[in-house]
Amino acid sequence: MLATFATFANPYFILKNKINIAIDGYSSCGKSTLAKSVAKELNYIYVDTGAMYRAMTLYAINHSYINDNAEVDVDGLISALDKIVIHFKYNTDTLKHETFLNGENVEHEIRNPSVSSWVSPISAIKEVRKKLVALQQRMAEGRGVVMDGRDIGTVVLPDAELKIFMTADSVVRAKRRFEELRIMGVQTTVEEVLKNLNARDEYDSTRANDPLRRADDAIVLDNSHLSIDEQYVFVIKQAQRRIIAKTEQEA
């Protein structure tokens, strides 16, 4: 990655004037990849809210709150919310943040298509969102957080200094996701992944509670034809501007 902050004379400038960065967008737009690289560059905390909802979904599946008739036992899941603990831990071997559900590493399990197909219905439950949004907001209280999801700029961090809304052609997204799953050893097809992405897009954009939408002050980033490095440089430059603006406001 480029040393984009080399233009700052004082290296403590970045650390002293922290901002929050919200990255929203459709499934498989590379939100997490971008958010992780930006957080690393700024020495910020990275929060993968999507993984939190995936972990909640995995809990629902493992505890039979989703039955054989493809129905969610909403009341049952709500009654169990106090028993669910989700946190992240940095793996020094893989150099990645991993998701833990009630003390168990579930990073691989939550990426399975069987979980992906139920994330939207579970995340649409008002009480589930209330629990996880409150946790996410606590994580960001001290600033210096990069958070990605679907309602970060509109609900979780409406006062974030920088908001990015990511989008890309659905076929491009499906191919990217398929390759990720293939590397993980998950058996599927591009067609199956595309069907899942389209269904999630529709569900997330039309759900009653906190639907996916672009915040009025969010910058749209269509990465259909952009490399990871190009996206990274774009967001870092936007972050630079916000940090400078924050400093000038507080001067």
What one-character-per-residue DSSP string does 149-201 give? ESSIIIII-TT-SEEEEEE--HHHHHHHHHHHHHHTT----HHHHHHHHHHHH
Per-residue pLDDT of the chain (251 residues; tens, 9 = 90+): 444 444 444 455 555 689 999 999 998 899 989 999 999 889 898 998 989 999 999 999 999 999 877 789 999 999 999 999 999 888 888 877 889 999 999 999 999 888 988 998 999 899 999 999 999 999 999 899 999 998 999 999 999 999 999 999 999 999 999 998 899 888 899 999 999 999 989 988 998 888 899 999 999 999 999 999 999 999 999 999 999 888 877 76
The three-class DSSP label of residue 33 is helix
CA distances from 148 to 26, 116, 203 (A): 11, 17, 18
* Interatomic CA distance for residues 191 and 175, integer angstroms: 9
* Euclidean distance between the first and the last CA atom of the chain, given in angstroms as a whole number: 31
Alpha helices (H) along 125-169: 126-139
**DSSP state, 218?**
P
By the 10 Å C-beta count (0-12 exposed, 13-18 middle, 19+ buried), 217 is classed as exposed
CATH number of 19-241: 3.40.50.300
| pLDDT for res 6 | 42
Domain boundaries, the chain: 19-241
